Structure 1
Amino acid sequence: MATTRSRHVVLFPFPGQGHHAGFLAIARLLRLELPDATLTLVSTPRNVAALRASSKSLSLSFHALPFVPSEHGLPDGCESCSSLPVQAFVNLFEAFESLEPAFDAYVSRLRDDEADVCVIADGFVAWMVNAARRHGCAHAVFLSCGAFGSAVVHALWSLMPALPFDPDDGMLRLPQHPEVVLHRSQISPSLLLRGDHSDRATAFLHRVLRHGHRTDAVLVNTVAELEPTGLHMMRRTLGDKAAVWPVGPLVPRDNDNDSGEAHDDDVLRWLDTQRPASVLYISFGSQNTIQPKQMMELAAALESTGRPFLWAIRPPLGFDIAGEFLDEWLPEDFEARARASNTGFMIREWAPQLKILAHRATGAFLSHCGWNSVLESLSRGVPIIGWPLGAEQFHNVTMLAEEWGVCVELARGDNNMEISVDAVQRSRVAKVLETVMGDTAESAAMRRRLVQVRDMLKGAWAEDGGSSRKALREFLTAMRFN
């Protein structure tokens, strides 16, 4: 009698908060499409414990690969980005590469059980393609970033060690995408400008690029209608090597990042006291912050405008981002005055971002424009004021501003402190806030576009032909899993 082979999807995220969230969202979608398949999230022990705790409502399996952080020069218990400053991420990147033999053995056991296996790997662990290829498994790379930003960053790294700046105007035109023109201040990290090919991070990223070009498919956390230009650029880059499938927006539900802390209620109660669409929400993400002089000037600018604000604040660059926040980093008595006038609320703990963005009082989001924050804001119809700090964030701002007109760039800063950045100007803050939040024709037009984008994102998963739902099903068919 013929037997039906079991189907097994193996998911391996890189250990960062946004990466875990993206893979849990992918797992939730795959469970709906493949109710009888085994879905297994693979990582190191602490990460598996975190993933298990975040997915209690899903029917998932987990597999922990042996990992001892101290053997890789990492602090005891350090298995994720949250335990490291940005400049030390390369230590974790390299440490995770050592997991390949253990992962290979795990996939080999799955194949010995005569299962059809598809491996979906985070872009930062694309080396898993080696094990997939050795054991005849389908393989896909999942990118938690957007299409345009990913395509530009890929092009920049592939041009190393020397970026071709135009000698006449000093701008950079990408040979792979001649329609894209970049300023030096939009290129990060700055080691790209130095062209240091011996740098460990550069070497690692070039290894990742080589692995990624051997995959069968690329899943992108975006929507076909949102990023047609970026998706075209990605397909131009990959050619016939891999198909590109937009399967976003992978946006959590409002309660998915609920910390359950008492201060969440304090934040929401404060928002309840504010007028609709009047509050500027400020957050640079969990791993980013700004320079001391920028922080001081931004605070002074907020006070001068008189607009209410909600600021998820962290210590400035040069200090422990997870450490105690000192009053000296803000104008004297700034927080006391904001509290007394009920015009400002400072959050020093984890911010319930999804609830904040969904609140009727939130009128705009001053963001570093990491892709998860972008999608969370757009899916809730909140305009974005961009202050990109690194990586692909500069290019996210470009796409949002130029293609959709739902973002205005306020400032531009490099979070590795190797490029000099001037403090943001108070007059510029006032002008941008008026553009985005004022009672102007420009603001009204932006909000109409936001409604269009919000509905587009929601429609991508419509049962009756949503583009992302269709893309996921076509991907599974291509992997012979549907």
Structure 2
Amino acid sequence: MAPHVVFLPYSMMSHLTALVQIARLFAFHGLRVTIITTPHNALVFQSLVDKDRLVSGRSICIRTLKFPSNVLGLPEGIENLVSTPNVEIAGKVHYGVVNLLQKPLEQMIRQLNPNCIVSDMLFHWTVDLAEELHIPRFSFQPVSFFCQCVRHCLREYTPHNKVDSDSERFTIPGLLHEIKMKRSEIEDFLKEETYYGKMVKSVVDADLRSHGIIHNTCSLLEPGYAELYEKIRGRKGWHVGPLSLFINKLDDVKRSKEIHNSNFSVPNWKESDDCLSWLEDQDPNSVLFVCFGSSTRFSNDQLREITLALKEANCPFVLVVKEQQDHHDGNSNKEMLNKNGKCFIIKGWAPQVIILKHRAIGGFMTHCGWNSILEALTLGVPLITWPLFSEQFHNANLLEQLGLAIRVGADMWNSGFIVSCPVISREKIESAVKRLMCDSEDSRKIRANVKLMVERLNSASEEGGSSHSDLIALIEEIKRCAFNNST
């Protein structure tokens, strides 16, 4: 019988999307897979798992545990960080997933008696359970090798403590390239003791005891950093990305009128026909897509500067704004832009992959989430980077080093989804848009680099490519461990 692998995704779309894709790949390659999550998170990918099982005959299923909404004082259905309107509720969701569900998750995993656990990094306690069950545990890290190396070198060498101000640039020792940062761009937990910092330490300690660490990345995207990462961590780092390329090749069921985000089923997108029709009327590679992820909240002052800059840049664009932001000044900004006729405004959620795939899209202004970067690069879309929080400043530095993007935005790290850094002027934003979207020397160089990267990423996911080889080797390693444990 094939080895049985249990997957535990975290309740945040960027984490959940990638880990479920890995689960589907494992099932496709013959492993038995069980994904454990909460009911409303399961709805996001239930239809895809059903197709995998019923149409393609893959051994994959979902088990759910009730989310402790009553204990946390939350309404039913708030189980993912994308559905949280503020930091306080996001904190409750995190606490419920990581802490309150630990005991029920442990009990379910013991009952399932799997041969392997693959968990999101934040479920660091699974390493203790794996040791108890005498099975391997693999940690999933939803960030790049480069980011992990930067964080390690910042902890190891503390170059940010050797400058006189937050605005002074310094070079980070120990990396393969000369990477400069400001102290204001570094995560808080690397500069002082925080709750998240304690959690990161637990994650790092658990990784050191794990059998290996899985990343949605490609060695050709960040050359040399997989090897540096393994040297730093002392654990094998499996690079199995970009995952979307593998999933696209494996899915043989045509999705004619279904709406997907990173190959996930999602609720009906009410503006789909209007937006796609509008894009059809635009010239190829002429439209800038502006989206800062599913959770970011800008101030109305910053939104106004963004909208005015886009209007003055005089190129067509699709702009995604959050529903919470669509009031007062937000409404007047929308009315002004709609009169312009060169834009399409999406309120709330947007199917990023569908829009990025359209022939009219010629650029992407993004907050630099790792999933967004991979989605854009696999589709050949150059970027304007506006990092805001988490590891996004490291991602922006990598893209800049590789010549794949133009940088804009503040040089101040934010502690959460609510953006509190100083407002960026419309002039600075307009300049970045024109540099990418007009026929400038910078634009030509970046587009040539992106085109080359598309070829590299595709080759990595082909049979015999670096990511494909790592994926197969990872599956074989799980089979080997299961066989050894059974004899």
Q: Which residue identity lines up with residue 181 of structure 2 in the other structure?
A: L
Equivalents in 2 of 1:42, 1:410: separation in Å? 39
Q: In the alignment, does 2:279 pair up with 1:271? A: yes
Distance 1:434-1:164 versus aligned 2 partners, 3 A rule: closer
Q: Which residue identity lines up with residue 460 of structure 1 in the other structure?
A: A
The residue that corresponds to 2:17 in the other structure is 21
1:409-459 C-alpha deviation (Å, 9 max, x unpaired): 111254448996332223322322222111123212211111111111112
The residue that corresponds to 1:329 in the other structure is 330
Equivalents in 2 of 1:420, 1:21: separation in Å? 28
Q: Which residue identity lines up with residue 445 of structure 2 in the other structure?
A: A
Equivalents in 1 of 2:477, 2:34: separation in Å? 20
Distance 1:294-1:223 versus aligned 2 partners, 3 A rule: same
The residue that corresponds to 2:138 in the other structure is 140
The residue that corresponds to 1:91 in the other structure is 92
Q: Which residue identity lines up with residue 430 of structure 1 in the other structure?
A: E
SS of residue matched to 2:50:
coil
Per-residue deviation, 1:66: 4.7
Equivalents in 2 of 1:110, 1:427: separation in Å? 58
Distance 1:419-1:469 versus aligned 2 partners, 3 A rule: closer
1:48-76 C-alpha deviation (Å, 9 max, x unpaired): 34442443222221222354233245554
The residue that corresponds to 1:375 in the other structure is 374
Per-residue deviation, 1:380: 0.8
Answer whether contact 1:288 1:415 (CA < 8 A) is retained: no
- Mean Cα displacement is larger for which, 414-423 or 302-311? 414-423
Distance 1:46-1:430 versus aligned 2 partners, 3 A rule: closer
Distance 1:287-1:481 versus aligned 2 partners, 3 A rule: farther
Distance 1:411-1:324 versus aligned 2 partners, 3 A rule: closer
Q: Which ranges in structure 2 are unaligned for 5 or more consecutive residues?
A: 54-59, 249-254, 482-487
The residue that corresponds to 1:222 in the other structure is 217
The residue that corresponds to 1:45 in the other structure is 39
The residue that corresponds to 2:427 in the other structure is 427
Q: Which residue identity lines up with residue 286 of structure 1 in the other structure?
A: S
Answer whether contact 2:300 2:329 (CA < 8 A) is retained: no
Distance 1:428-1:167 versus aligned 2 partners, 3 A rule: closer
| TM-score, length of structure 2 as denominator length | 0.85
The residue that corresponds to 1:107 in the other structure is 109
Q: In the alignment, does 2:260 pair up with 1:256? A: yes
Equivalents in 2 of 1:30, 1:93: separation in Å? 27
Equivalents in 2 of 1:387, 1:152: separation in Å? 19
Distance 1:164-1:363 versus aligned 2 partners, 3 A rule: closer
Per-residue deviation, 1:86: 4.3
Equivalents in 1 of 2:196, 2:118: separation in Å? 23
Q: Which residue identity lines up with residue 29 of structure 2 in the other structure?
A: E
1:20-419 alignment, distance < 5 Å: 20-34=16-30, 37-59=31-53, 60-72=60-72, 74-84=74-84, 85-86=86-87, 88-95=89-96, 96-111=98-113, 117-153=115-151, 164-167=160-163, 170-171=168-169, 174=172, 177=175, 180-188=179-187, 190=188, 192-193=190-191, 195=192, 197=193, 199-239=194-234, 242-251=235-244, 255-257=259-261, 259-314=267-322, 322-323=323-324, 325-329=326-330, 332=332, 334-402=333-401, 404-412=402-410, 413-416=412-415
Answer whether contact 1:100 1:131 (CA < 8 A) is retained: no
Equivalents in 2 of 1:208, 1:88: separation in Å? 23
Answer whether contact 2:163 2:170 (CA < 8 A) is retained: no
Distance 1:106-1:341 versus aligned 2 partners, 3 A rule: closer
The residue that corresponds to 1:317 in the other structure is none
Distance 1:421-1:94 versus aligned 2 partners, 3 A rule: closer
- Mean Cα displacement is larger for which, 50-59 or 441-450? 50-59
Equivalenced residues, count: 453
Answer whether contact 2:238 2:471 (CA < 8 A) is retained: yes
Q: Which residue identity lines up with residue 108 of structure 2 in the other structure?
A: Y
The residue that corresponds to 2:252 in the other structure is none
Q: In the alignment, does 2:3 pair up with 1:7? A: yes
SS of residue matched to 2:308:
helix
Q: Which residue identity lines up with residue 290 of structure 2 in the other structure?
A: I
- Mean Cα displacement is larger for which, 74-83 or 339-348? 74-83
SS of residue matched to 1:479:
helix
1:177-199 C-alpha deviation (Å, 9 max, x unpaired): 595442123213x4544x1x3x4
Distance 1:120-1:152 versus aligned 2 partners, 3 A rule: same
Q: Which residue identity lines up with residue 285 of structure 1 in the other structure?
A: G
Per-residue deviation, 1:238: 0.8
Equivalents in 1 of 2:230, 2:315: separation in Å? 44
Equivalents in 2 of 1:325, 1:110: separation in Å? 46
User: Percentage identity across aligned positions?
Assistant: 28
Equivalents in 2 of 1:214, 1:128: separation in Å? 11
Answer whether contact 1:90 1:201 (CA < 8 A) is retained: no
Distance 1:147-1:307 versus aligned 2 partners, 3 A rule: same
Answer whether contact 1:225 1:456 (CA < 8 A) is retained: yes
Q: Which residue identity lines up with residue 101 of structure 2 in the other structure?
A: L
1:379-435 C-alpha deviation (Å, 9 max, x unpaired): 111110000110111111110111x21111111254448996332223322322222
Which is richer in helix? 2
Equivalents in 1 of 2:343, 2:149: separation in Å? 38
Equivalents in 1 of 2:433, 2:161: separation in Å? 33
1:206-257 C-alpha deviation (Å, 9 max, x unpaired): 2222222211111100011111243234213212xx2111000022759532
Answer whether contact 2:34 2:61 (CA < 8 A) is retained: yes
RMSD across aligned positions (CA): 2.7
Distance 1:164-1:335 versus aligned 2 partners, 3 A rule: closer
1:305-349 C-alpha deviation (Å, 9 max, x unpaired): 2211110012xxxxxxx536114136x4x4334333421111003
